Structure 1
Amino acid sequence: MMLPAAPLHAVGADGQPRLGRYAGLAESFGWDALAEPFRRSAPWRRLHHKRWHFVGIVTDEVYCATAVVHVGWGSSAFGYVFERATGRDLACFSSVGLPGMGARVGANARAPGSYRSFSEHIDILPAGSGDWMLGLSARGLRIDAAYGGAAGHLLAIGPAAGGSVHATQKSGAMTVAGVAVAGGRRFVLDDGVAIMDYSNGLLGRSTGWRWLSAHGPDVGINLQQGYFGGAENALWLDGQLLPLGEARFDMTPQGLCVRTADGLVELHFTPDGERRDDKQLLVASSRLRQQIGVFDGWVRAAPDAAPRAVRRLAGMVEQHHARW
């Protein structure tokens, strides 16, 4: 089943969120216009409005990633270059911004985002129709890349457990050109793929999830288990964007196995390594685990379709719990 085209606005004229999964990018989210039962007071929205913009780039050598996060009352950011062969970060940073300073996350996925501190800066900028540019500079770490192309974009809008309503934009594999410099080494990114995660919603005080993101030119998978249910689960297959059912993450004697309830996905994960990023503040905390590696198994476009083999598809499994 192909997904319908994304609405320009996530909230309709009646104040109801346009719940569902769509293909394309939204222009506005407008949570202040929500009606019951999703409506919340202005002070509540101020504290619970969470936005982030994540960019991941994977090549045969490295996995590069950065994120700019605004949590309503504060902000944070991180960036890293992970060497797949050794399973370690060549360079990384994780920073917390002061209230009212630090991160700027755009009103939609095409709006500029940035982060500034004394020693780090990040810029995520639109660059023409369907393209973006990433510039990151920190001590011992630099990423300069342009990415975009004809990859399909997912828009998912749904209720958020413990909060009100949430929306996320996920991309399929996009072409990329650029360089990363880390650990005194220079990596050309031109043979890799890039993905984007822009998320914007009214989330609960305590929010947790498991997220699988794995993408190549012909096959891509996005799965989430947690506060958003299966709202953003989707398969990119030969240029088509297809919805997927609820995801299960199970540890087996052979390692992590991920399946969907509709029988369209079964993947086994082999990690290259794990990176951790924990933050503990007076009123908030974040526990982040990202395993980077490859997936083997199969996917199919429909229950009666023949399985399509997936072999060594590069990606990540993330486990995150935030109290914010």
Structure 2
Amino acid sequence: MTLPAAPRSVIGADGQPLFGRYAGQAAGFDWRALAGPHARGALWRRFHHKRWHYVALATEQVFCAVAIVDLGWTSTCFAYAFDRDDGDMLANFSQDGLPGVSASLADSADGRSTFKAKGTRIAIEGVGEGRHRLELDCPYLRIDAEFGPGASPLLLAAGPVKGGSVHATQKSSGMPLSGEVRLWRGEYDLAGGVASFDYSNGLLARNTAWRWASAHNLELGFNLQAGYFGGHENALWLDGRLHALGPAHFLYDQSEPLSDWHIFTEDDLLELFFTPEGARRQDKNLVVAASRYLQPIGTFTGWVRASVDDPKRVVTRLVGVTEDHTSRW
């Protein structure tokens, strides 16, 4: 089914969250306005409020991903560039920041998110009329990119979180991309590529886990998740329209993460097989916090459709990522 227009705020005048999936953009996510039973005190919010701004850039030759993450009590960032021609991870960077100092996360998907630390500068921002800019300067990697506007509306999803309170996310469709990636091997032109982003903002549980898949071209794309947010953010972009998808299942051999993945939705609107070309991995154990992170880069082949009465649309080697992530934060 197609989605209703997004409300300006995901919190109603009565303080109750407007749970659901929508097409469009919210102006912001101020969880201080929540009323019972979803309201939480300032100290609880301080340690459970999690926000991230993630951008993916894809061309036939290179795939890049950049994220700024604010965990409330600390912050972090990562960036990588993967050469799809030879399966080589050209750059793989991450850095933790000082709480309340290094990271500044936007209040909405078209705001400005930044990360600043010694030797590292990252900015993700909306620049008007559905366009966005990414600027990154870190050891061994520089990115200057502009992308948008997309032909399809943003996904807005809001829902409850077990062990936490509420969560909301804005996901984009594929957007036309231009710019340049510069690193030790040389320069990569991003012109003709596709960008997408994920802006997420919520009051999450201490232990949070998910599997995720995302891939886009300018006509077709999808976002799928199984885990802490259930099926709330599962969606298909097809020919300029945004459609809700049912709960998703991710099947793969965890002992061999670069083996093929099988992904399908319960509503019989999507079935895909993902073939990894490489992966970014990072495991952390900081005693009070820990994470296990795997993001394979590769291609999806299979089919999608907007309804069970529609013919299946073939998907062939659509570049994107999957993810398996477990955090204690």
Amino acid aligned to 1:103: A
TM-aligned CA deviation for residue 85 of structure 1: 2.2
The Cα offsets for residues 290-322 of structure 1, whole Å up to 9 and x where unpaired, read as: 000000000111012111111111100011111
Partner of 2:229: 228
| More displaced stretch, 98-107 vs 225-234 | 98-107
Q: Who is 1:8 aligned against?
A: 8
Partners of 2:23 and 2:212 lie apart in 1 by 20
CA contact (8 A) 1:15 1:33 kept: yes
Name 2:95's counterpart in structure 1: 95
Deviations 1:274-300 (A, max 9, x none): 111222223111211000000000011
Aligned residue in 2 for 1:211 = 212
1:121-136 superposed matches below 5 A: 121-136=121-136
Secondary structure at 2:46 match in 1: helix
User: 1:152-231 residue pairs with structure 2 within 5 A?
Assistant: 152-231=153-232
Aligned residue pairs, count: 324
Moved more, 286-295 or 80-89: 80-89
Q: CA offsets per residue over residues 109-163 of structure 1, 9 Å max, x none?
A: 1111100110111011221211111100011100000111134210000011221
Q: Tell me which moved more, 235-244 or 182-191.
A: 182-191
Q: Secondary structure at the match of 2:44?
A: helix
Check whether the contact 1:85–1:272 (CA below 8 A) recurs between aligned residues: no
The alpha carbon displacement at 1:88 in A equals 2.6
Q: Does 1:316 align with 2:316?
A: no
Q: Distance in 1 between matches of 2:43 and 2:25?
A: 28
**8 A Cα contact 2:260 2:276, kept in partner:** no
1:53-73 per-residue CA deviation (whole Å, 9 max, x = no partner) reads 000000001111100000111
Which deviates the most, 96-105 or 278-287?
A: 278-287
Aligned to 1:82: 82
Structure 2 letter corresponding to 1:318: E
SS in 2 for 1:127: strand
Structure 1 stretch displaced more, 307-316 or 277-286: 277-286
- Give, as a single letter, the amino acid of the residue that structure 2 aligns with 1:6: A
Moved more, 30-39 or 261-270: 30-39
Deviations 1:162-181 (A, max 9, x none): 21000000000011110001
Query: Structure 2 counterpart of 1:280, which letter?
Result: N
Q: Which amino acid aligns with 2:70?
A: H
> Equivalents in 2 of 1:197, 1:10: separation in Å?
17
CA contact (8 A) 2:248 2:264 kept: yes
Is 1:266 aligned with 2:271?
Answer: yes
1:218 positional shift: 1.1
List per-residue Cα deviations over 1:220-241 (Å, max 9, x = no partner): 0100000000000000011110
Which amino acid in 2 is paired with 1:277?
Q
Q: Which of 293, 298, 310 is the equivalent residue of 1:293?
A: 298
Q: Which moved more, 1:180-189 or 1:209-218?
A: 180-189
1:95 aligns to what SS in structure 2? strand
The answer to whether the 8 A contact 2:234-2:245 is kept is: yes
Q: Is the 8 A contact 1:140 1:184 kept in 2?
A: no
Contact 1:94 1:277 in 2 (8 A): no
Structure 1 residue runs without a partner (length 5+): none
Separation (CA, whole Å) in 2 of partners of 1:116 and 1:64: 19
CA RMSD, 1 decimal: 1.3
Corresponding letter in the other structure for 1:166: H
CA–CA separation in structure 2 for the residues paired with 1:132 and 1:289? 27
Secondary structure of 2:45's aligned partner:
helix
CA distance in 1, matches of 2:88, 2:11: 42
TM-score when normalising by structure 1: 0.97
Distance 2:85 2:184 in 1: 14
Would you say the 8 A contact 1:49–1:201 is kept in 2? yes
Structure 1 stretches of at least 4 aligned residues deviating more than 4 Å after TM superposition: none
Secondary structure of the structure 2 residue equivalent to 1:313: strand
SS in 1 for 2:202: strand
Unaligned runs of 5+ in 2: none
Q: Quote the Cα distance in structure 2 between the aligned partners of 1:306 and 1:176.
A: 30
2 CA distance for matches of 1:18 and 1:57?
Answer: 31
Instruction: Tell me the secondary structure at the aligned position of residue 128 of structure 2.
Output: coil
Q: Deviations over 1:71-112 (max 9, x none)?
A: 111100011111112223101210001122211111111111
Alignment partner, residue 38 of structure 1 = 38
Partner SS state of residue 68, structure 1: strand
